[in-house]
Structure 1
């Protein structure tokens, strides 16, 4: 390509337009020059600005370019406070459907608005219009709600709205949700009306039909338990909103249970009808929560003498199931204790033989939870440890993720199914235990005055303190207890979740010291007390724990005298069918915070004694709980 030479007037001649190509050669008066067109175009291209992966709140709202600096150019030019309120996509993906992220101030404002809406529903039309007029004038919903709250019906509504909302999460709690989504799942809001939430705070009433099966097969044996049920049916307490009725015959297992011959599996002389009733009640109540064995395989073993049933497992199941069945047949508590003693002897024989079996793992765990119901704390720890050690030896836990479980090593498909069932049930049990351990682990640290300055370096959050971890596990327990009490009527006759109730009640009383007038703690404390009241129909241990918690609340000024006396009267009515002593064992610790410094004073026996020494005198202004509830 020839370039035009410079003309006589001194102007440089323009070269003709070139086409795109890998390169062009230009010939000048002095020689030939190689020109790369791609390079020329890149030189002409404008330089792009620096890419910012995030934008501040102001730039997001205005949809303007943000440089992503701690104080961006747009905010600096306008003398604005530069804030970044962004959440990573990983956290957003973990939020359940139906919930959203909001800051604390926005959450409180929404709760106040919900309270006001509930109050407006019960106001006369004239007052409701006045409230709307105040709202249009710019008054805050919280102030309007306070002015008209005296016109609302029933219990104060604010605790129910607060309890239904997801808890306010700290940055550490979000980090825990990301690192450990199984132990710290994200919870959706509770979908319940105020009436349903209010009923959860009232203990349930047990309704019997008076047609229970005979307990024993003889009357001259040492294990005979004459039924006094007909004399005591009329003495049950009354005035409760929720009703618990005996379970109807199971459609799933009724026909198969009819073939049970219990004398093949135990030396305790109970009737087949009573054994069927206890198993039926267990399958309908406890087993959905703690399915430590596959029901179909267990019934096959019970009827056909297969490997999926054993004398130890049968005795351990009845030792536990008879405690829950005491709701309908009070004397079954004593039968359960006899099964417990028999199961302990069988377990000693199994340990001597040194044989590990999946049925034995389930049986020992039943012994552990039965020990709780009978107040044998030391035996509970021993049994739980032995069950977990055997589970490890059988390969249920501590399997390397790189190796993965070898299903063939567990035997035939039925054996694999039984093993998987027990492993999964134990894992669910350990989830609650995990949060209890977290609370115990950080309990001594949160008692220190300088705890806010103590950082946990294994976390990246600036709020990584023992207090924040303690609160995160407390929030999980709140949702577990609320969900189980709300969704499962079986909670009324199952003691398995008692540990969650005890630890949550202690955490709530501690929260009451710092929450001021926040009503949420009152809701959860009453929820725990009502749950224990209902459990006392089956488990006499619940009375001592309930009285101990009331004693703690009275001494700290968080529980009103009227409420404490009402609960005590209810317990006296509910426990008339307990013909054995309901004195709590001296080793049972209820005040978990006090146990750090004075274990003996934290025991239930001492707390019950202090409750009896308190002079419960009501005043005219005394409420169920202190002011503000």
Structure 2
């Protein structure tokens, strides 16, 4: 056998280097390519042990950990652990790498790492930054809700009532614009221009700002227009609800010396905003008689009541509107006393508006008296609380089409307004809804455009007016159906025979609530497309949806603090359909509706009616803050004491966290549920509601008491710091002084409205605004004393 030829060593390449040099170069470049042979080390670091990769054992950080920018720790024995100080680790890389490791490691190793983190006795890894949390919430919000939640079922099966909401972070909203109050420019104008000493100043000297002017760029830049009693000069006015208003001579209807153009603007503002949401008469017939000086569908009592109500809303725009409103309020009461014939449709409508005026002046006893007087007259004329057509107003209306239209609007308008009144006062006045057809349901209630006073109106304007009138009738008809359902809730929870149902609701009440809820959902599903929520919705459509969700929250509120809070509603597919889940779903929709109303309907925000959204969202936000505070207190008690071995590390971490979060409340720590609002989000909505209440207080005196009661609630539930509460109260005092200087209503306004909805479940009288306002001073003193001690 021939021996094998001996092999020679392979010659080195021309510029070659040692293997160790190659390995060092490659490791520096890629950190994953190492020499085939590596020196042995006494111990590998913990991350390399976990990954089962080779470790060079270098201190203070091995080569692999340096590349991965992760903490390098060596455990030589059970009680001896060497860790690279946190200061040497780039900020944020630890948490980012932890997430990356969980995503890329094999399943078994990822579970092992997670188990080690859960059992780790040392300080936890640093929490993600707030911007990172907001980003993650936004990304999760883009995804559809989980199929086993009630939100998913409601959005899928009832999209009209619960449309899918695009995620909007409060941080992305124009907060400066939304929280900007009209109070500041109004107060500034009061400091630079003194009000007129009396109401006898010639109208040509009175300047006012039309309500259609929006403060797009600067609150102080309003267009000033001079008043004129001559209808020929009415072209100075801006766009009006109806061009026939330019022919009005207000001196023919009221002895109050109000400027003619101010009266025209006030009536137009009322018809554009309040009437569109809660009509009490037929606007076309009213305007026809108003300019032609007829008394069939118009009266001095009704005109004076409308002016009194509308001038309150225009207080931020006109320097003397508050003084005119006070004079008109007294004149309207005089008209009512001098009425030769009470049983007329115009008197019923005027009494309802006068009741609204008295309520906003804080005269609740007088307001209830006017409301009950209006209801009694309506009952006498067969508008409601009748059991058969033979007793209904239809018997005396006959074939008079115009009278039938007016009676339809008045009957259902009074019924709807009394329902809204009951929503805030928890009373029950009308047993049986009207038997007359609703506006829009019959030919008798279709709009008639083309009377002798509109011969100069163009075809386009007439078509637009007809569409507006038809939409108003459609909104009123749909709202009436919803308030009929709500009447059963009033009878069940606020009737005189069922006072104890709110304190301890029985199982039958939960079944009633679930059945009523499905009736409301069917009502929403049957709405026409014009009344579904959309980008081009008018404020009256938005208000209808606000009322819907307010009714839903009231329907399930009695169960929130009872054992039935988490009781499953068997009529829904998901196991998570509970009274609390239904309440939360409607609160979420209410918050979005509040944002839309504040951003898109600035002129309508002068109206008192949108206070429903403000008060309900404020109550929900304060309740959320109280729940978060209580949860934080419980979790603090359940937390185990820190280990002695980790005191040093925990001290350093706690110091860093405290410096970054000293302005946050303790409840932030436990805002871990992505579906729950964060503390900052709660503060935003509470600030938004308080800003809206300040704006309403400029026009309506009663909201000073309501705002004070809301501040007291927020202090008790730790939803607002004492210094911010003090700032709100200072602004309320400034508004009160400005109102007194403007010759507005100076009587003390006391709100008997239910302000604290949760407290009303057990003590309705203590939940009224006037009692909450009285308790506020003591709360502020205790808060300031606690801060001084701290």
Q: Within 1, Cα distance between the matches of 2:243 and 2:773?
A: 47
Task: Name the counterpart of 1:589.
Answer: 754
Task: Name the counterpart of 1:535.
Answer: 696
1:314 pairs with 299, 303, 313, which one?
Answer: 303
User: Aligned-pair distance for 1:583?
Assistant: 3.5
Alignment of 1:428-447 (within 5 A): 428=540, 431-447=545-561
1:251 pairs with 232, 239, 244, which one?
Answer: 239
CA contact (8 A) 1:368 1:381 kept: yes
1:571 matched to 2:739? The reply is no
SS in structure 1 opposite 2:357? helix
Aligned length: 473
Alignment of 1:170-569 (within 5 A): 171-173=149-151, 175-176=153-154, 182-190=160-168, 194=172, 196-204=174-182, 205-207=184-186, 208=189, 218=200, 243=219, 246=222, 249-252=237-240, 257-279=245-267, 282=270, 298-305=286-293, 309-329=298-318, 331-343=320-332, 353-356=342-345, 363=350, 365-377=352-364, 394=407, 407-410=442-445, 413-414=448-449, 421-422=472-473, 424-425=475-476, 427=479, 428=540, 431-448=545-562, 450-457=563-570, 459-490=572-603, 492-515=605-628, 516-517=670-671, 518-519=678-679, 520-569=681-730
Q: Within 2, Cα distance between the matches of 1:245 and 1:395?
A: 43
Q: Within 2, Cα distance between the matches of 1:542 and 1:167?
A: 40
Task: Name the counterpart of 1:6.
Answer: none
Residues 296 and 395 from structure 1, CA distance in 2 versus in 1: closer, same or farther, beyond 3 angstroms? closer
Q: Within 1, Cα distance between the matches of 2:310 and 2:773?
A: 28
Q: TM-score, normalising length from structure 2? A: 0.49
Deviation string, structure 1 residues 346-385 (Cα, Å, up to 9, x no partner): 66898965444xx677655534543431234466667778
Residues 384 and 294 from structure 1, CA distance in 2 versus in 1: closer, same or farther, beyond 3 angstroms? same
Q: Which moved more, 1:376-385 or 1:558-567?
A: 376-385
2:769 pairs with 604, 611, 624, which one?
Answer: 604
**Where does structure 2 lack aligned partners over 5 or more consecutive residues?**
1-89, 103-123, 209-216, 225-236, 385-392, 394-406, 413-432, 452-464, 480-539, 629-669, 672-677
CA contact (8 A) 1:206 1:244 kept: yes
CA contact (8 A) 2:241 2:269 kept: no
CA contact (8 A) 1:265 1:314 kept: yes
Deviation string, structure 1 residues 461-520 (Cα, Å, up to 9, x no partner): 433432223223322321221111122222552221112211221121112233453233
Residues 379 and 176 from structure 1, CA distance in 2 versus in 1: closer, same or farther, beyond 3 angstroms? farther
Deviation string, structure 1 residues 292-334 (Cα, Å, up to 9, x no partner): 6776765443222365544343223212111112213454334
Residues 320 and 609 from structure 1, CA distance in 2 versus in 1: closer, same or farther, beyond 3 angstroms? same
Q: Within 1, Cα distance between the matches of 2:739 and 2:311?
A: 14
Residues 255 and 355 from structure 1, CA distance in 2 versus in 1: closer, same or farther, beyond 3 angstroms? closer
Residues 442 and 342 from structure 1, CA distance in 2 versus in 1: closer, same or farther, beyond 3 angstroms? farther
Q: Within 1, Cα distance between the matches of 2:300 and 2:327?
A: 14
User: Aligned-pair distance for 1:137?
Assistant: 6.7
SS in structure 1 opposite 2:219? strand
CA contact (8 A) 1:536 1:543 kept: yes
Task: Name the counterpart of 1:617.
Answer: 784
Q: Within 2, Cα distance between the matches of 1:531 and 1:314?
A: 28
CA contact (8 A) 2:408 2:438 kept: no
Deviation string, structure 1 residues 242-262 (Cα, Å, up to 9, x no partner): 726656641346975443211
**Where does structure 1 lack aligned partners over 5 or more consecutive residues?**
1-128, 231-240, 624-629
Deviation string, structure 1 residues 44-91 (Cα, Å, up to 9, x no partner): xxxxxxxxxxxxxxxxxxxxxxxxxxxxxxxxxxxxxxxxxxxxxxxx
Q: Which moved more, 1:180-189 or 1:267-276?
A: 180-189
Q: Within 2, Cα distance between the matches of 1:351 and 1:192?
A: 56
Q: Which moved more, 1:316-325 or 1:331-340?
A: 331-340
Q: Within 1, Cα distance between the matches of 2:472 and 2:712?
A: 41
Deviation string, structure 1 residues 208-265 (Cα, Å, up to 9, x no partner): 598999898748xxxx99x9999xxxxxxxxxx9726656641346975443211222
Q: Within 2, Cα distance between the matches of 1:451 and 1:593?
A: 16
CA contact (8 A) 1:163 1:523 kept: no
CA contact (8 A) 1:164 1:192 kept: no
Task: Name the counterpart of 1:101.
Answer: none
CA contact (8 A) 1:292 1:421 kept: no
CA contact (8 A) 2:696 2:703 kept: yes
Deviation string, structure 1 residues 584-615 (Cα, Å, up to 9, x no partner): 42633322211222233323233222221232
Task: Name the counterpart of 2:99.
Answer: 138
Residues 130 and 498 from structure 1, CA distance in 2 versus in 1: closer, same or farther, beyond 3 angstroms? same
More helix by share: 2
Residues 524 and 195 from structure 1, CA distance in 2 versus in 1: closer, same or farther, beyond 3 angstroms? closer
Q: Within 1, Cα distance between the matches of 2:368 and 2:280?
A: 18
SS in structure 2 opposite 1:413? coil
CA contact (8 A) 2:439 2:474 kept: no
User: Aligned-pair distance for 1:529?
Assistant: 0.8
SS in structure 2 opposite 1:570? helix
SS in structure 2 opposite 1:200? helix
Q: Within 2, Cα distance between the matches of 1:256 and 1:355?
A: 24
Deviation string, structure 1 residues 518-548 (Cα, Å, up to 9, x no partner): 2332221121111112222222222221221
Q: Within 1, Cα distance between the matches of 2:685 and 2:787?
A: 26
CA contact (8 A) 2:150 2:576 kept: yes
Q: Within 1, Cα distance between the matches of 2:98 and 2:685?
A: 36
Residues 193 and 588 from structure 1, CA distance in 2 versus in 1: closer, same or farther, beyond 3 angstroms? closer
Task: Name the counterpart of 1:71.
Answer: none
Q: Within 2, Cα distance between the matches of 1:311 and 1:163?
A: 59
Q: Within 2, Cα distance between the matches of 1:144 and 1:352?
A: 80
Deviation string, structure 1 residues 252-289 (Cα, Å, up to 9, x no partner): 46975443211222243433244234345556765666
Q: Which moved more, 1:336-345 or 1:609-618?
A: 336-345
CA contact (8 A) 1:301 1:308 kept: yes
Alignment of 1:109-120 (within 5 A): none
SS in structure 2 opposite 1:597? coil
Q: Within 1, Cα distance between the matches of 2:315 and 2:696?
A: 10
